[in-house]
Amino acid sequence: MTATKGLEGIVATTSSISSIIDGVLTYRGIDIDDLAEHASFEEVVYLLWYGKLPNKSELEQLHADLSASAPVADSVIQQLKLYPKNTNSMAALRSAVSALALYDEEANDMSPAANLRKAIRLQAQLPTIVAAFARIREGKEPIAPKAGVSVSYNFLYMLTGNDPEPIAVEALDKALVLHADHELNASTFAARVTVATLSDIYSGVTSAIGALKGPLHGGANEAVMAMLEEIGTSSDVEAYINNKLANKEKIMGFGHRVYKNGDPRAKHLQKMSRELGKITNNMNWYDMSIKIEELVTGQKGLKPNVDFYSASVYTSLEIPRDLFTPIFAISRVSGWTAHILEQYENNRLIRPRAEYTGPVNQKYVPIESR
Ligand code: ACO
C-alpha cells in the first residue's frame, strides 16, 4: 500500500453534480461561464439539487421556500449573543449551524423528503446567521430577513439594515453563483465522509464549514485581502511579492490542485472587481491585484484562483474582511447539501487505508521501566 500525498489525482467517488474536465467547470453539464453570465444564485441552487434548471413556477416556489425558512430559531440567535465578541466568524458559523440541529424536529429524520427540507432550511438560514453574528458582535440587534427578495439582496439587507444597490446585489449574486459547487473540493469531501457514516445533514455541513475555514481552502479570500492591506499601494507591490517569492512563501489566491492553466471563475470576479472599483471610485485594490497577478504568473506560472479577485469585490461592497469566508459558505452550502443528498442516494461508508510508516515489532514496557 502506497499513499498519495493529499490524495492528488485519486478519484474517490462518482458524482453527477459538477465536473472539471480539461479546465472547464460545469454544474450539471452547464459551463460556469454560461451560468455566471445568465443565472441567478437561486437557479443554480435548484440546478444543483434537482439536476435541471427550474421553470418559472419551480423557481418561484424555491424563492418562497427560502424566504419562509430564512428566520433562525431564537434560541440560536440567543446563543450567538453569548459567543465572545472576538470569536472567529467561521467558528461562530460552525457552532451555530451545529446548534440549528438541536432545534430542528426533523434533524434525525433520514427520509429523502426530510433531508431536502433540511437542505432548504440550511441554505436559507446560513445567511441569516452570518449577518446576525456580524451585527451582534458590534453591539447591534440582528435584522430579521425580508420576505420576497433574493438570497443576495437579503444578506446585504440583514448586514446593514439598508436596501442594497442593484449593482451590489448583482455582484454578490455572481460571486455566489461562482462559489456554489466545485466537484470534490476539501469541504465537500469532508461533508460526504461525514454523512457516509449515515450521520445527519447538519453534521455533514458542520464538518464542511470546519474544512472550508482553513487558509488553503476558503480562508484564502481573507488572506488575500490581508495581503492587499499589508501592501497598501501599487508602488509597493513589486518589492513585497518579490520578497515573498524569494523566501518561497505562498501568495494567497494563487495556484490550484486541479486547474493548472487557470481557474475559469477568476476572470468573472476580476471583471466585477474592475467594475466595482470604477463605481466606488477606488481602483487601488484592483490595480494592486492586477500587478500581483502579472508578477506571480510571470515568475511562477501560477494563475489566480476564485479567491483572489473575490477579496477586492467584497471589499468594494464594504463587507468586513472576516465575513469573506462565511460568504463562501453561504454559497457553497448549496453544493454541500447537493452532494450530501447524492451520497445518501447511493451510500457506502468512506473508509480509505493509510500506509503505515511507524515502528514495528515493539513490546509493551511496564510503566516502572520507562
Ligand atoms: N504561491 C507560491 N507558490 C505556490 C503557490 C502559491 N499560492 N501555490 C503553489 N505553489 C508552489 C508550491 O510552493 C510548490 O512549489 P515546490 O514544488 O517548489 O515546492 C508547488 O507550487 C506545488 O504546490 P502545492 O502546495 O504542493 O500544491 P497543492 O496542489 O498541494 O496545493 C493549493 C494547492 C493549496 C491551492 C496551493 O496552490 C496554495 O496553497 N495556494 C494558496 C492558497 C489558496 O489560494 N487557496 C485557495 C484554493 S481555491 C479554493 O479552495 C477555493
Ligand 1 neighbour 252 (Cβ under 6 A): yes
| Cβ–Cβ under 8 Å, residues 132 and 155 | no
pLDDT at residue number 1:
84
| Cβ–Cβ under 8 Å, residues 76 and 103 | yes
Output the CA–CA distances (angstroms, integers) from residue 292 to 225, 237, 277, in the order listed. Answer: 12, 7, 16
What are the φ/ψ torsions at residue 26 (nearest 5 degrees)? -130, 150
- 191 shares its domain with 117: yes
- 144 domain-assigned: yes
Distance from the CA of 189 to the center of ligand 1, in angstroms? 19
Residue minimizing CA distance to atom 41 of ligand 1: 252
pLDDT at residue number 260:
85
pLDDT at residue number 288:
97
| 179 counts as catalytic | no
- Label residue 21 left, alpha or beta by phi (over 0 means left) and psi (-120 to 50 means alpha): beta
Look up residue 195 and give its amino acid: V
Residue minimizing CA distance to atom 39 of ligand 1: 216
Which sign does the torsion angle of CA 281, 162, 272, 256 carry?
A: positive
- 91 shares its domain with 134: yes
Ligand 1 neighbour 300 (Cβ under 6 A): yes
- 150 shares its domain with 263: no
- CATH (domain of 119): 1.10.580.10
- 269 domain-assigned: yes
Ligand 1 neighbour 256 (Cβ under 6 A): yes
- 322 domain-assigned: no
- 155 shares its domain with 280: no
- 111 domain-assigned: yes
- 350 domain-assigned: no
> Which ranges of 137-195 does DSSP label H, i.e. alpha helix?
151-160, 166-179, 186-195
Q: Rounded to a whole number, what is the largest CA-CA distance in the chain?
A: 76
- 157 shares its domain with 268: no
| 307 counts as catalytic | yes
Burial-class residue 280 by CB neighbours within 10 Å (0-12, 13-18, 19+).
middle
| Cβ–Cβ under 8 Å, residues 362 and 36 | no
- 353 domain-assigned: no
pLDDT at residue number 38:
98
Q: Which residues contact 203 (CB under 8 A, 6 or more apart)?
A: 98, 101, 194, 195
DSSP code of residue 164: P
Residue minimizing CA distance to atom 4 of ligand 1: 250
- 272 shares its domain with 257: yes
Q: Rounded to whole angstroms, how far apart are CA atoms 112 and 115?
A: 5
Q: Which residues contact 295 (CB under 8 A, 6 or more apart)?
A: 237, 238, 241, 242, 245
Number of domain units in the chain: 2
- 127 shares its domain with 46: yes
- 239 shares its domain with 307: yes
- 210 shares its domain with 224: no
pLDDT under 70 in the chain at which residues?
none
- 133 shares its domain with 269: no
Q: Rounded to whole angstroms, how far apart are CA atoms 242 and 77?
A: 46
For residue 305, give the ligand 1 atom closest to its CA: 48
Q: Rounded to whole angstroms, how far apart are CA atoms 263 and 185?
A: 14
Mutate to test the pocket of ligand 1, among 18, 212, 254 (most ligand atoms within 8 A of CB): 254
- 327 domain-assigned: no
| 3 state DSSP class of 34 | helix
Give ipTM to 2 decimals: 0.96
- 198 shares its domain with 106: yes
- 236 shares its domain with 298: yes
What are the φ/ψ torsions at residue 117 (nearest 5 degrees)? -65, -40
- 32 domain-assigned: yes
Catalytic residue among 63, 256, 268, 339: 256
- CATH (domain of 306): 1.10.230.10
Q: Which residues contact 270 (CB under 8 A, 6 or more apart)?
A: 289, 304, 309
Domain that holds residue 236: 220-316
Residue minimizing CA distance to atom 47 of ligand 1: 217
The cell 465522509 sits on which residue? 193
Ligand 1 neighbour 306 (Cβ under 6 A): yes
Ligand 1 neighbour 251 (Cβ under 6 A): yes
Output the CA–CA distances (angstroms, integers) from residue 301 to 137, 261, 296, in the order listed. Answer: 41, 9, 7
Measure CA 358 to chain center. 36
pTM summary value: 0.96
